[in-house]
């Protein structure tokens, strides 16, 4: 059985860089980690030159010595392939491996992630180093798993090198066969963009107004996703040849322009995420803009759970986020490291690996605090991590449980990518996604993200009573069929403005709107418009309740098969339909002709009976997060001040074993994990 994420236990790890420290510290470091409950270390992900100091000259001394020492202990190792940081000799000799910006300016050696995925030389060099490392170490007992590269598509997720244009041409030829078909799909007759030969086609380039062809952009994002996946797959296939049966392959991070779901299935045993909730405390926004701050990170964790129902955290924050080029930020306050790590567990993480053991004494990240400061002295953060690993042992029963939810938010990569290329799309998408997340969080209504990805769907739709699919501008007949099945069997599907207005190429359909959704939704959009930002609030009357529309108004004619249940009551379109419902066998489809405001989300949840499903167990202040894994309830207080909860029936505190009932205090930055299934 795989060492990690096996439904048996929750495990702690840490990121370690033996190359940053004198060898004389290694043994003591490993011993101190073990005595603080840390069982896994991740190493190696930037250490290419230690293994291949000069082209073709491989040297195993460093990792032989380090792993030789580790294997005398119980510590297990996750080895990172070092391909996020090509050596200087490589980029100097083969500059074609470098990435560039949209103007063609080359990214030079001196930072990281400056390579492109499509250079044949870089692919070959990465395959070689991966093969050398895997062949040497995969069978060592202390090796438990592999990390591919580091944070694929982080920092830069656009690629504009010559190698990328060459690969893009091949990718497009496979897809369209002829330039005529490409011209048709991209609508190149517009602004005279017609291509007469493949050699005229490039990845998007610098244009005078920044407005590149939107259909090209959509294909470009799909292409980057495929490039990243095939780049990583080269490594996963090599590692699979050498690794022990129980050892895993993973990667860390969840970044843009990548179909993470297809990637996970293609190359990974499970996904890991790097969780730095402090980022959301330093966004420069007013601190309480949405009242969520670091709690907002739960959105990323829910996204990760969609990719991998049980996942790991490869880098869990322990200190201030600090690059030497950024202004200073505070360390987590006492209790916050634990709170943030529990946030990860509450959302499905079974492995928590902290970043990093000791703060680097040099380099860009010398202010990115790890557990220890560069002196390595014992400190409060180490004590907190040690105490946290004891908690993990006490709540290990959680590992076999899945997060539970009645509500899902459906997404797909076509629309994720399209909303990047299309400002109308991104405006309504972001507003709706923010409101959905905020209201679900604040009303303590657990939910999942579900994705259509290339080749499938990430969860069984039938396990959700209600599915929001906010703005699927692009939809295919296959996806319509899946949704129809869901609705026929009793599901409730909620669509928002602009649904169905585009085809797979991102071109607007010439049918009546909502295009391919017209049959399923039973709606007919006769007119549509953005709302004027300076006009008074536009209200929708939904059976007597007034709900503010947000950003956009699709005006429904009433000619569809569904019933109009909500009408605009403001402005020149007062009286037009805003909400329709189409009953279909046991289920129904709502068409909501706007972006979702907080009030609209709340109204849907309440009316459909899915709001706050644990209200009979506990009353929780809005500021506390509630999450559920099987029978286990997680309550997390992100504020400095203590607050009070009220349990309506007794539950058992999983850590102390005590019964909790009635009025119960929750400390500032405190948490409770309670078993709802058995009284103490």
Question: Looking at beta carbons only, is 130 or 150 nearer to ligand GAL?
Answer: 150
| Region of 37 on the Ramachandran plot (φ > 0 left; ψ -120 to 50 alpha; else beta) | left
How many chain residues are in contact with ligand GAL, going by CB under 6 A? 8
Surface-to-core class of residue 559, CB atoms within 10 Å of its CB (0-12 exposed, 13-18 middle, 19+ buried): exposed
Stretch that binds ligand GAL, among 64-72, 148-156, 445-453, 517-525 (CB under 6 A): 148-156
Question: Which of the stretches 5-13, 69-77, 146-154, 181-189 binds ligand GAL when contact is defined by CB under 6 A?
Answer: 146-154
Among residues 19, 28, 5, 261, the alpha carbon closest in space to that of 144 is found at: 5
CA distance 446 to 343: 13
Closest distance to ligand GAL from the beta carbon of 355 (Å): 6
Stretch of residues binding ligand GAL (CB under 6 A), selected from 123-131, 147-155, 497-505, 629-637: 147-155
How near is the Cβ of 360 to ligand GAL at its closest, in Å?
A: 10
Tell me whether residue 151 or residue 420 sits nearer to ligand GAL (CB atom).
Answer: 151
The angle at the Cα of 213, spanning 433 to 219, to the nearest 5 degrees, equals 65
Residue whose CB is less far from ligand GAL, 228 or 539: 228
CA–CA dist 233, 246 (Å, integer) = 19
Q: Least separation, in Å, of the C-beta of 281 and ligand GAL?
A: 16
Closest distance of CB 350 from ligand GAL, Å: 20
Which of positions 33-72 make contact with ligand GAL (CB under 6 A)?
none
**Choice from 29, 52, 315, 484 touching ligand GAL (CB under 6 A):** 315
Q: Is residue 274 within the footprint of ligand GAL (CB under 6 A)?
A: yes
C-alpha 259, offset from chain centre: 10
Q: Which of 29, 52, 149, 151 binds ligand GAL (CB under 6 A)?
A: 151
Map tokens 């074609």 to a residue: 96
The least CB distance from residue 378 to ligand GAL, in Å, is 23
Nearer to ligand GAL by C-beta: 222 or 300?
300
Q: How far is the CB of 200 from ligand GAL (least distance, A)?
A: 38
**Is the Cβ of residue 82 or residue 577 nearer to ligand GAL in the bound state?**
82
Please, which residues have CB within 8 angstroms of residue 449's CB and are 6 or more apart in sequence? 302, 303, 305, 306, 408, 409, 410, 411
When the beta carbons of 317 and 441 are compared against ligand GAL, the nearer one is 317
What is the rounded distance in angstroms from the CA atom of residue 117 to the CA atom of residue 224? 9
Q: Binding string, 358-397, against ligand GAL, x = CB under 6 A? A: -------x--x-----------------------------
Residue spans of beta strands (DSSP E) within 24-160: 40-43, 76-80, 143-147
Distance CA 588, CA 582 (A): 5
Q: What's the chain's length in residues?
A: 680
| Minimum CB distance to ligand GAL smaller for 151 or for 247 | 151
Q: Token pair 């980029």 is at which residue?
A: 91
Q: Which residues have a Cβ under 8 Å from the Cβ of 73 and sit 6 or more positions away?
A: 30, 31, 34
Q: Could you tell me the maximum CA-CA distance found in the chain, to the nearest angstrom?
A: 78
Residues 338-357 binding ligand GAL (CB under 6 A) are 355
Beta carbon nearer to ligand GAL, 113 or 442: 113
- Smallest distance, ligand GAL to C-beta of residue 313, A: 12
Q: With binding defined as CB under 6 A, does residue 242 bind ligand GAL?
A: no
Which residues, 532 to 571, sit near ligand GAL by CB under 6 A? none
Work out the end-to-end distance of the chain between its first and last CA atoms, rounded to an integer number of angstroms. Answer: 33
Gap between the Cα atoms of 596 and 125, Å rounded: 48
Q: Which region among 27-35, 149-157, 241-249, 662-670 touches ligand GAL (by CB under 6 A)?
A: 149-157
DSSP class per residue in 582-622: EEETTEEEEEE-SBPPHHHHHHHHHHTT-S-TTTTTEE--T
For ligand GAL, the closer of residues 254 and 550 by Cβ is 254
Q: Is 259 an interacting residue with respect to ligand GAL (CB under 6 A)?
A: no
Residues making contact with ligand GAL (CB under 6 A): 150-151, 154, 274, 315, 355, 365, 368
């Amino acid at each position: 059985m795989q060492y990690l994420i096996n439904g048996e236990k929750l495990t702690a790890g840490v990121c370690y860089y033996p190359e940053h420290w004198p060898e004389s510290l290694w043994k003591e470091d490993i011993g101190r980690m073990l005595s603080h409950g840390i069982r896994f270390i991740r190493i190696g992900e930037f250490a290419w030159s230690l293994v291949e100091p000069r082209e073709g000259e491989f040297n195993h001394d460093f990792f032989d010595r380090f792993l030789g020492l580790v294997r005398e202990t119980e510590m297990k190792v996750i080895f990172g392939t070092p391909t996020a940081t090509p050596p200087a000799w490589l980029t100097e000799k083969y500059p074609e491996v470098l990435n560039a910006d949209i103007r063609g300016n080359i990214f030079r050696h001196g930072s990281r992630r400056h390579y492109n995925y499509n250079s044949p030389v870089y692919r070959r060099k990465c395959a070689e180093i991966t093969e050398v490392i895997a062949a040497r170490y995969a069978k060592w007992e202390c090796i438990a798993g592999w990390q591919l590269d580091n944070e694929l598509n982080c920092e830069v997720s656009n690629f504009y090198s010559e190698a990328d244009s060459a690969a893009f041409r091949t990718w497009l030829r496979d897809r369209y066969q002829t330039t005529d078909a490409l011209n048709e799909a991209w609508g190149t007759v517009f602004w005279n963009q017609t291509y007469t030969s493949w050699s005229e086609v490039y990845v998007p380039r610098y244009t005078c107004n920044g407005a590149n062809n939107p259909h090209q952009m959509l294909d470009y994002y799909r292409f980057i996703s495929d490039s990243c996946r095939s780049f990583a797959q080269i490594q996963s296939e090599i590692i699979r040849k050498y690794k022990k049966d129980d050892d895993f392959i993973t990667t860390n991070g969840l970044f843009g322009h990548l179909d993470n779901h297809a990637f996970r299935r293609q190359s990974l045993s499970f996904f890991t995420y790097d969780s730095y909730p402090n980022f959301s405390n330093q966004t420069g926004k007013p601190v309480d803009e949405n009242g969520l701050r670091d709690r907002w990170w739960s959105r990323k964790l829910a996204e990760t759970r969609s990719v991998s129902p049980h996942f790991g955290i490869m880098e869990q924050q322990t200190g201030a986020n600090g690059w030497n080029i950024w202004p200073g930020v505070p360390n987590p306050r006492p209790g916050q490291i634990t709170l943030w790590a529990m946030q990860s567990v509450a959302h499905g993480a079974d492995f928590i690996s902290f970043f990093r053991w000791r703060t680097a004494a040099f380099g860009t990240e010398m202010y990115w605090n790890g557990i220890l400061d560069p002196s390595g002295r014992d400190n409060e953060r180490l004590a907190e991590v040690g105490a946290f690993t004891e908690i993990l042992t006490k709540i290990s029963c959680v590992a076999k449980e899945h997060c539970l939810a009645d509500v899902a938010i459906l997404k797909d990569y076509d629309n994720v990518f399209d909303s990047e290329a299309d400002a109308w799309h991104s405006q309504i998408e972001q507003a709706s996604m923010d409101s959905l997340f905020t209201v679900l969080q604040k009303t303590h209504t657990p939910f999942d993200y579900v994705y259509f990805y290339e080749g499938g769907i990430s969860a069984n739709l039938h396990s959700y009573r209600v599915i929001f699919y906010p703005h699927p501008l692009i939809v295919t007949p296959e996806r319509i069929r899946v949704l129809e099945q869901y609705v026929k069997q009793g599901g409730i599907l909620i669509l928002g403005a602009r649904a169905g207005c585009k085809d797979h190429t991102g071109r607007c359909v010439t049918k009546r709107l909502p295009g391919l959704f017209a049959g399923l939704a039973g709606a007919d959009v006769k007119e549509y418009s953005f709302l004027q930002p300076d006009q008074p609030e536009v209200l929708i009357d939904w059976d007597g309740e007034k709900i503010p529309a947000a950003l956009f108004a699709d005006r429904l004619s009433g000619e569809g098969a569904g019933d109009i249940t909500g009408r605009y009551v403001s402005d020149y379109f007062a009286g037009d339909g805003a909400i329709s419902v189409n009953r279909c066998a046991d289920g129904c489809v709502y068409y909501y002709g706007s972006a979702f405001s907080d009030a609209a989300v709340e109204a849907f949840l309440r009316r459909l009976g899915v709001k706050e499903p644990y209200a009979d167990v506990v009353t929780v202040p809005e500021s506390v997060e509630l999450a559920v894994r099987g029978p286990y309830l997680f309550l997390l207080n992100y504020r400095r001040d203590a607050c009070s909860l009220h349990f309506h029936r007794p539950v058992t505190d999983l850590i102390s074993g005590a019964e909790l009932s009635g009025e119960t205090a929750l400390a500032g930055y405190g948490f409770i994990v309670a078993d709802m299934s058995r009284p103490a």
